[in-house]
Amino acid sequence: MDLLMRDTIAACATAPGAAGIAVIRISGPLAEPILNKVFTPRASAARLEHGRLYLGTLHAAGQEIDECMAVVMRAPKSYTRQDVAELQLHGSAYSVNACLNALFAAGARPAEPGEFTLRAYLNGRIDLSQAESVMALIQANNERAGQSALRQLNGGASRFVGEAQADLLSILAQVEAAIDYPEEVDDAVEDAELAARCRALADRLNAAAQERAARLVRDGLHVALLGPPNAGKSTLLNALLGEDKAIVTDIPGTTRDVLSGTFTLDGYSVTLYDTAGIHETADQIERLGIDRTYRAAAQADAVWWLQDAAQPDQEPLPTVLTGSGLPILKVYTKSDRLQPDNPRPEDGILVSAVSGDGLDELKAALKRMFDQLPDTPLTQQRHILAAQEAAASLNEAADALDAHLSQEFAAVHLHAALDTLGQITGEQTDERLLDEIFSNFCVGK
Ligand SMILES: Nc1nc2c(ncn2[C@@H]2O[C@H](COP(=O)(O)OP(=O)(O)OP(=O)(O)O)[C@@H](O)[C@H]2O)c(=O)[nH]1
Ligand SMILES: [Mg+2]
């Protein structure tokens, strides 16, 4: 990993494949001279103006490659805070490769994944949590995930961490004052008060580190559709997805493999898993399918137990499910086939994938799961783990204070908490961590 940033790097920032345009980025001290070697603006200009788009030609070794647009953004007013040049050319593999080769021949080197954003971070334009939010924003596939990444890009996580650090520093100052001037403080009163402040801050960090909420915002809700064969699992999956995804027949045991599909509800993404019907069977393939059903359930956030409303107790709800702690919703299917004198099940939702009855109720049940989610300032796994670790150190500091050990013990734990919080925004970091974070980026970002 290049932390010195003396090289000039170049990469295609748009996705590969035929497209209207592709954007190629160049960043580094030689960005402008390298651009000038491959690009000639149509209107002659002594020097390209900052931030202005020029139409011109792209050429290499005397041969024209493409007609394109180019812009120069001079340091520090650029994404990386270095000199940056961008080319917009036609999005063909030919144009992009020819352009990149021309840039490399002119002195640029290929950028590593995330290297532009790494430079923005190293130059202090954004902190580490903001750099990670760039990646989250690129990967967001639903409104909630996008909005949460944007809040983080605007410094949401950094602000929260900054406030926690300020609080922690004020506790630490008091602890260190007690170490330095023991004669001036009443130890017992002071210890109890400091311990309470440590615990309150630990609680705040733990409340912000809601793994489940963060994952649901990022990846959406995962619901496994389980039930006896022919209950109508595949039909319901198709109805909710609005597409003919799973095979439906009146033969029990149609579905063998787990099949999934995703739809968007109220800005959140919901992934449904259609599974093999659960029952006693000697059929080897079906048995393997049922094993997969249980594995899908174990990884889901909730299970819908589907049964034919006309014969609800055909297969008992498996005890492994009831004992799993997963939220289970009973769904009674094929309501369109119920006769007026049939009893209506009351401990679940009655639906018909054929008439569409009850589907809104199912969606409302999903929305309720989202509505219960707390609004958390931390949405990335790495930040959540760091916040939990800092909270644990704070509680250890509080324990030491409560036990009236020398305040130096508390100070050690408080310093550890401070370091851990600093990892979120990147004040405390090492090359390994940066490597791990930025290697997950795409090239060109
Ligand atoms: N009338 C009516 N028939 C339905 C409804 N849902 C499913 N069916 C029928 O019930 C039969 C079984 O449906 P599937 O969706 O294949 O059931 P499954 O639970 O996926 O079954 P397996 O994959 O075998 O476990 C098919 O003939 C469907 O057309 C419904 O809401 N109303
Ligand atoms: Mg099926």
What CATH number did the domain enclosing 410 receive?
A: 1.20.120.430
Does one domain contain both 236 and 355? yes
Count other C-beta atoms under 10 Å from residue 154's C-beta: 12
Q: Is the pLDDT of residue 186 over 80?
A: no
Range of the domain at 163: 133-210+379-426
Q: Is residue 48 in some structural domain?
A: yes
DSSP symbol at 16: S
| Residue 3 confidence (pLDDT) | 87
Q: What is the pLDDT of residues 345-358, one digit of tens each?
A: 889 999 999 999 99
Does one domain contain both 418 and 331? no
Does one domain contain both 99 and 144? no
pTM of structure: 0.76
User: What does the mean pLDDT of the chain come to?
Assistant: 93
Whole-Å CA distances, 124 to 72, 82, 438: 21, 11, 16
Residue closest by Cα to atom 11 of ligand 1: 250
Residue 361 corresponds to which tokens in the numbers above? 């109720």
Q: Is the pLDDT of residue 442 over 90?
A: no
| Residue 188 confidence (pLDDT) | 67
Q: Where are the alpha helices (DSSP H) in 128-186?
A: 128-139, 143-153, 156-180
**CB 337 less than 6 A from any atom of ligand 1:** yes
**CB 359 less than 6 A from any atom of ligand 1:** no
Does one domain contain both 312 and 394? no
Domains in the chain: how many in total? 3
Q: Is residue 143 in some structural domain?
A: yes
What is the CATH number for 48? 3.30.1360.120
Q: Is residue 319 in some structural domain?
A: yes
Q: Is residue 255 in some structural domain?
A: yes
Q: Is the pLDDT of residue 144 over 90?
A: no
**CB 336 less than 6 A from any atom of ligand 1:** yes
Mean pLDDT computed over 241-258: 94
Q: Is the pLDDT of residue 422 over 90?
A: yes
Does one domain contain both 23 and 117? yes
Mean pLDDT computed over 115-144: 92
Residue closest by Cα to atom 9 of ligand 1: 232
Bridge-based pairing of strands 268-274 and 302-308 is unpaired
Q: Is residue 436 in some structural domain?
A: no
Q: Is residue 321 in some structural domain?
A: yes
Does one domain contain both 160 and 66? no
Q: Is the pLDDT of residue 328 over 90?
A: yes
Per DSSP, the three-state class of 186 is coil
Q: Is the pLDDT of residue 307 over 80?
A: yes
Q: Specify whether the CB–CB gap between 10 and 28 falls below 8 A.
A: no
Does one domain contain both 143 and 20? no
Domain ends where: 92, 126, 160?
A: 126
**CB 229 less than 6 A from any atom of ligand 1:** yes
Q: Is residue 439 in some structural domain?
A: no
Domain ends where: 371, 404, 435?
A: 371
Does one domain contain both 358 and 398? no
Q: Where are the alpha helices (DSSP H) in 372-430?
A: 381-402, 407-425
Q: Specify whether the CB–CB gap between 100 and 2 falls below 8 A.
A: no
Q: Is residue 389 in some structural domain?
A: yes
Residue closest by Cα to atom 12 of ligand 1: 230
Does one domain contain both 396 and 417? yes
| Residue 344 confidence (pLDDT) | 87
Mean pLDDT computed over 352-376: 91
Does one domain contain both 360 and 417? no
